[in-house]
Chain A
Amino acid sequence: MKLGFSAEDEAFRAEAAQWLQGQMAGEFKDIAGISNLVSKVERRKEWERQLAAHRWSCIGWPVEWGGRDATLAQQVIFAEEYARAGAPNRINHIGVELAGPTILAFGTQEQKARYLPGIAAGTQIWCQGYSEPNAGSDLANVKTKARLEGDEWVVTGQKVWTSLAHFSDYIFVVARSEEGSKGPKGLSFLLMDMDQPGIEVRPIRQMNGEAEFNETFLDEARCPADATLGEPGKGWGVAMGLLAFERGVSTLAQQMQFRNELDAIVAAARTNGKAADPVTRQKIARAEIGLNLMRYGALRMLSNTDHAAIDGAALTYKIQWATWRRDLGELAMEVLGQAGEIAGGEAYEWSLLPNMFLFSRSDTIYGGTNQIQRNLIAERGLGLPREPRGDK
């Protein structure tokens, strides 16, 4: 068991830090510190390309696909330095952290060559088409249909909560490709081009006023038959594999954002005097403890060589961070007081902490609600009997 970094890793840290800080103080100063995923989109696409040009866009990937084959330690270091430099949240995080690793794990050589270079180069933004109006917590209840027509899939249905679909180039879609199939069987995992007449995206305005999520309508949308990741009809396994990546290294970058949010709360508390209040100090300490344990939990998960077989510990991660951040949002508003309820200008737009407070109410819902997480932990992690279903 070892926590310290080697001299080689520290040299890597220095290199990454120098480059990132140089960018944020120089050419990309205008987008430093942005944590949402909706503002200054064009500039942030440029930033993705800049990262790629210097081979910093997907360092954990193999060298042959534009990565650096970075070790776990180096990925941890890069995530830390990325946040320390104040670089903006990755607008293509779905491509780099979800689509890419899934294609690397399940894709054919030909599929890798078709899709990975665009992600690595920062030129193709991806989004995720899982949820549907009647496939939320019951994700396997997908109704979107795919039928083969010659050498093309023809896909019709509706996806919802599609983050960033409004500026994405590709979407991965879970669709029912075997007529009459039910539940997790008969689903296929399709990689689709967003730029086609059969796909229409309508934004969903959220309670914080922003519109990061969308409804995505597919009406005879098409993709080549060989754009199926994994076997046709076995898409559920691919989708679940992808959820495992969601619990992997990407969590470290997310934690750095949490660090910045907690630091902002502490700064606000120092400014308005709440930092001296014993009750507030207890709450800040609880947040500090939780964030540290999240970090070491992720390192434990990633260091565990057995983690391909998603073990129980990894199942606890989602509810842990989601609940922590919801509590952090409440703490932010307690520290800010009524000042936190007044927007900076006339528009219904919120600065970092009030926006986080509002947005964090979605954390305990998307990617599996806290209630679904508890079912997963209890049934898969602890081996408890399943709840009887109403549809069987």
Chain B
Amino acid sequence: MEFAFNEEQAMIAETVQAFFAENATSERTRAAMEADGIDRELWASFCMELGLSGIGIAEEDGGVGLGMVELAIVAEAAGSQVSAIPLLGLATAGQAIAAGGSAAQKEQWLGALVSGEAIAAAAHAPAIRAVGGRLSGTVPFVAHGGLADVLVLVGEDAAWLVATGDAGVTVKRHTTMDQTRPLATVTLDGAAGAALDFAGARNALHAAGWVCLAAEALGGAQATLERTVQYSTERMQFGRPIGSFQAYKHRLADMMVLIEQARSAVYWAACAVDEGAPEAQLALHCAKAFCADTYFECAGHMIQLHGGIGFTWEHDAHLFFKRATSIRSMMGDGDWHREQVARLTIGEAA
């Protein structure tokens, strides 16, 4: 038992934080928002130069090994800059293919996803029907779905790989509140779907997705706190820095109390998944519910504590607020995750 980063993890954290702080600037993120919601140059250098895009994927499958703790470290750093990159798609689809794909499927996709040549998205797809290996139906709210080359779709009792370039696949991009991760609706009409092992793919997708979102939320929340603390020491009113007023500093303190719990939640969940602990499922639901709420709360405080400037398009506060909003509703909202916690601890509602 040693619930702290080891040397390698501390080094990865330092590297990725520096990478995103330097490269995922507000200016570049805003350029991506005006375009299709992805900073391709950033994604290419993340995949090719940093060498961390293969986290959680075995070396023989083209990855770099390691696990959810390291994925969380990366997602936390990416989230702190609201980076416009398809990290969630890589994490979810990549893990689903690694866990539930055939040797041929892994060979076809994992190397290309890790190198950034192909972009992936994943979605819950209960409305998809499979007839004779052909898929039909609509999948709403696919994050970064408008850019994906390959989709992992998880239905009620089956999971599939779908190449978006195939016949019978239509993708409609939506103008989305969070422009750093726009949503799309995918419509399938007799499209080819390659089956994945259902349980393997679904469980890996859930674990990676919830860890990734919770960690992004942690990084984002921490950034809202740091930026607001900075502002509060510079902005003067009544002849004092506004951060010296209790009404102001107590709210910042409350943010820190939430964020420190969120940090425990993210790394508890990531570690529990990596160790195959019996409580991994509980930890994942706790982390997704708590971190998303924390981020939303903190991003809201950031706006309020900045006053009028915090409400402007020019200020970054709305990027955090909108990302927080999308993380809250994505992959199960807080009420749903808390009901899963209740189910695991007190049993079915009956």
Interface residues of A, Cβ cutoff 8 Å to B: 1-5, 9, 72-73, 76, 266, 269-270, 275-276, 278, 281-282, 284-286, 288-290, 292-294, 296-297, 299-300, 302-305, 312-313, 316, 319-320, 371, 373-375, 377-379, 381-388
The answer for the CA separation of A73 and B69 in the assembled complex, in Å, is: 20
Are A2 and B244 touching (Cβ within 8 A)?
A: no
The answer for the CA separation of A316 and B253 in the assembled complex, in Å, is: 8
Q: Which of B4, B240, B250, B253 is close to A303, meaning CB atoms less than 8 Å apart?
A: B4
Are A286 and B338 touching (Cβ within 8 A)?
A: yes
Interface residues of B, Cβ cutoff 8 Å to A: 1-6, 9, 69, 225, 229, 232-233, 240-241, 243-246, 249-250, 252-254, 256-257, 260-261, 263-265, 267-268, 270-272, 275, 277, 282-283, 286, 289-290, 335, 338-339, 341-342, 345-347, 349-350
Closest 5 A-B residue pairs measured CB to CB? A378-B249, A285-B338, A385-B244, A374-B253, A377-B253
Are A285 and B345 touching (Cβ within 8 A)?
A: yes
Q: Which of B5, B9, B246, B265 is close to A296, meaning CB atoms less than 8 Å apart?
A: B265
Q: Please indicate the chain B residues that have their CB under 8 angstroms from the CB of A290 in the complex.
A: 261
CB nearest to A319 among chain B residues: B257
Are A387 and B267 touching (Cβ within 8 A)?
A: no
The answer for the CA separation of A379 and B265 in the assembled complex, in Å, is: 25
Q: Which of B232, B240, B250, B267 is close to A1, meaning CB atoms less than 8 Å apart?
A: B267
Are A276 and B350 touching (Cβ within 8 A)?
A: yes
Q: Closest CB-CB distance, A251 to chain B, in whole Å?
A: 13
CB nearest to A302 among chain B residues: B3
CB nearest to B267 among chain A residues: A1
Q: Which of B6, B243, B253, B282 is close to A385, meaning CB atoms less than 8 Å apart?
A: B243
| Majority secondary structure, A binding face | helix
Among A270, A313, A320, A383, the most chain B Cβ lie within 10 Å of the Cβ of A313
Q: Which of A1, A9, A266 is close to B5, meaning CB atoms less than 8 Å apart?
A: A1
The answer for the CA separation of A282 and B349 in the assembled complex, in Å, is: 11
Q: Please indicate the chain B residues that have their CB under 8 angstroms from the CB of A288 in the complex.
A: 286, 341-342, 345
Are B257 and A289 touching (Cβ within 8 A)?
A: no
Q: Which of B1, B229, B265, B339 is close to A3, meaning CB atoms less than 8 Å apart?
A: B1
Q: Closest CB-CB distance, B221 to chain A, in whole Å?
A: 13
Q: Please indicate the chain A residues that have their CB under 8 angstroms from the CB of B267 in the complex.
A: 1, 296, 300
Are A296 and B3 touching (Cβ within 8 A)?
A: yes
Q: List 9 A-B contacts (CB under 8 A).
A: A1-B271, A3-B272, A270-B346, A282-B339, A297-B261, A300-B4, A378-B253, A385-B244, A387-B246
Q: Closest CB-CB distance, A3 to chain B, in whole Å?
A: 5
The answer for the CA separation of A286 and B335 in the assembled complex, in Å, is: 10
Q: Which of A2, A282, A378, A381 is close to B342, meaning CB atoms less than 8 Å apart?
A: A282
Are A303 and B3 touching (Cβ within 8 A)?
A: yes
Are A385 and B240 touching (Cβ within 8 A)?
A: yes
Are B1 and A374 touching (Cβ within 8 A)?
A: no
Q: Closest CB-CB distance, B168 to chain A, in whole Å?
A: 40
The answer for the CA separation of A297 and B347 in the assembled complex, in Å, is: 26
